[in-house]
């Protein structure tokens, strides 16, 4: 197994966020980010804009993409598709070999699709306490099972579409890493691959899906992030086959520890191996799913919850302090669907849980 890049950087229990915020104003979103997680800021996704939705945000520049009102689909039937496909692969090869070419290529994400990328990059120069920068991209399995072709079949099952989407997402992830490395030289960039659709593995909808194919597609994105000099993470907001991720070369596993830790911990041997090679756990201990849970919890109650969970992962070679050094404290998922009041409480809890744990153990 390849040694994890994360061995050269440890988060030490610092807090960060997952992605979306329930605001439309970028300045307000960045104020929330820097006000609660200044050490590891994210670029905020603003889902109030249709183009910033998870499935639309990263499709520009891909051949065959049709956006008609609220419907987005792939079409390989157009006469010009073959020429578009050839141009795509020519640019992909050039961008994969030359970072300067990548930065100005079709794989850059436009400001209209992700204003937060540009807003964060432009606000880093005067921030002196940034320990890392967190970015994100939609994962290939989620993208390919979320958008259909012209015949209403999942894009995942068309090998032409699948190969282009995987390569396109890999380059868009690498572009983000290079963009933030240019904006803040020397600061680690954490690129999370958001894969909520992995929660559907094992269901009848995905009965014919190959685990090896999923792992291979993820590996292509992970490798692109690594080639660009970033650390890669995968975020799944529900249960999945955790061994796919634990046995990959991913640097960070991000999961909903509030609701699914009992499922995650069943893979204890895989978790130990992942931590042994320097892997980082983004511990989604702060609830975002049910408003009642958010209202009920306090920083102290969530610290207790983390300690109870951590006790199941410690042993003679790794105590809670060592585990916390390889931990990010996060919400269980994004807050874009919450009210601003509840989202703000989630951010406050994330900050305060991290602070209390670090004071106690580090």
Q: What is the pLDDT of residue 150?
A: 87
Mean pLDDT of 321-334: 98
Long-range contacts formed by 340-344: CB under 8 A, 24+ apart: 340/22, 340/23, 342/291, 342/294, 342/295, 343/21, 343/22, 343/32, 344/32
Q: What is the pLDDT of residue 69?
A: 80
Beta carbons of 8 and 29 less than 8 angstroms apart: no
Burial (Cβ within 10 Å: 0-12, 13-18, ≥19) of residue 204 = exposed
Beta carbons of 68 and 75 less than 8 angstroms apart: no
- The token pair at 139 is 């994962």
Q: What is the pLDDT of residue 7?
A: 58
Banded pLDDT at 249 (limits 50, 70, 90)? very high
For residue range 140-171, what is the model confidence (pLDDT) as tens digits?
Answer: 999 999 999 888 888 999 999 999 999 999 99
Cα–Cα dist 237/333, whole Å: 6
For residue range 172-193, what is the model confidence (pLDDT) as tens digits?
Answer: 999 999 999 999 999 999 999 9
Check pLDDT > 80 for residue 330.
yes
Beta carbons of 348 and 294 less than 8 angstroms apart: no
Q: What is the pLDDT of residue 233?
A: 97
Banded pLDDT at 3 (limits 50, 70, 90)? very low
Q: What is the pLDDT of residue 2?
A: 40
Banded pLDDT at 302 (limits 50, 70, 90)? very high
Question: Helix 299-310 to helix 257-264 angle, to the nearest 10 degrees?
Answer: 10
Check pLDDT > 90 for residue 68.
no
Nearest to 289 by CA among 357, 196, 188, 213: 196
Q: What is the pLDDT of residue 202?
A: 63
Banded pLDDT at 128 (limits 50, 70, 90)? confident
Banded pLDDT at 6 (limits 50, 70, 90)? low
Mean pLDDT of 233-255: 94
Q: Where are the beta strands (DSSP E) in the chain?
A: 65-68, 71-74, 133-138, 189-194, 231-236, 252-255, 280-286, 327-331
Q: What is the pLDDT of residue 324?
A: 98
Mean pLDDT of 312-335: 96
Q: What's the DSSP call for residue 349? A: H
Beta carbons of 129 and 36 less than 8 angstroms apart: no
- Residues forming beta bridges with residue 148, ordered by sequence position: 154
Cα–Cα dist 44/309, whole Å: 29
Cα–Cα dist 292/109, whole Å: 36
Residue holding tokens 């650390």? 231
Q: What percent of the chain has pLDDT over 90?
A: 84
Q: What percent of the chain has pLDDT over 70?
A: 96
- The token pair at 114 is 């992700």
Check pLDDT > 90 for residue 254.
yes
Angle of CA points 178, 184, 185, to nearest 5°: 75
Cα–Cα dist 21/36, whole Å: 13
């Amino acid at each position: 197994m390849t040694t994890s890049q994360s061995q050269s950087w440890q988060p030490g229990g610092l807090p960060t966020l997952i992605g979306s915020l329930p605001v439309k104003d970028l300045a307000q979103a960045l104020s929330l980010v820097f006000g609660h997680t200044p050490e590891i800021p994210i670029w905020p996704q603003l889902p109030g804009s249709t183009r910033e939705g998870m499935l639309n945000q990263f499709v520009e520049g891909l051949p065959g993409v049709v956006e008609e009102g609220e419907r987005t689909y792939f079409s390989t039937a157009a006469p010009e598709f073959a020429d578009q496909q050839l141009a795509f692969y020519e640019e992909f090869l050039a961008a994969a070999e030359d970072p300067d070419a990548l930065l100005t290529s079709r794989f850059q994400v436009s400001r209209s699709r992700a204003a937060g990328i540009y807003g964060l990059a432009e606000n880093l120069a005067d921030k002196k306490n940034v320990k890392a920068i967190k970015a994100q991209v939609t994962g290939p399995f989620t993208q390919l099972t979320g958008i259909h072709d012209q015949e209403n079949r999942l894009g995942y099952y068309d090998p032409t579409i699948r190969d282009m989407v995987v390569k396109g997402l890999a380059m868009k992830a690498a572009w983000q890493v290079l963009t933030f490395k240019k904006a803040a030289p020397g600061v680690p960039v954490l690129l999370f691959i958001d894969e909520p659709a992995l929660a559907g593995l094992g269901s009848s909808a995905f009965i014919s899906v190959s685990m090896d194919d999923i792992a291979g597609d993820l590996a292509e994105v992970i490798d692109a992030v690594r080639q660009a000099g970033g650390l890669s993470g995968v975020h799944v907001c529900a249960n999945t086959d955790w061994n796919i991720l634990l046995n990959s070369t991913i640097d960070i596993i991000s999961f909903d520890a509030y609701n699914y830790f009992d499922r995650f911990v069943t893979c204890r041997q895989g978790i130990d191996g992942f931590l042994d090679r320097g892997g980082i756990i983004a511990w989604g201990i702060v609830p975002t799913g049910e408003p009642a849970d958010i209202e009920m919890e306090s920083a102290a109650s969530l610290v207790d919850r983390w300690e109870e969970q951590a006790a199941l992962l410690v042993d003679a070679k790794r105590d809670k302090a060592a585990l916390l050094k390889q931990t990010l404290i996060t919400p269980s998922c994004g807050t874009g669907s919450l009210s601003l009041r509840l989202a703000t409480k989630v951010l406050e809890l994330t900050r305060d849980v991290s602070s209390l744990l670090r004071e106690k153990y580090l």
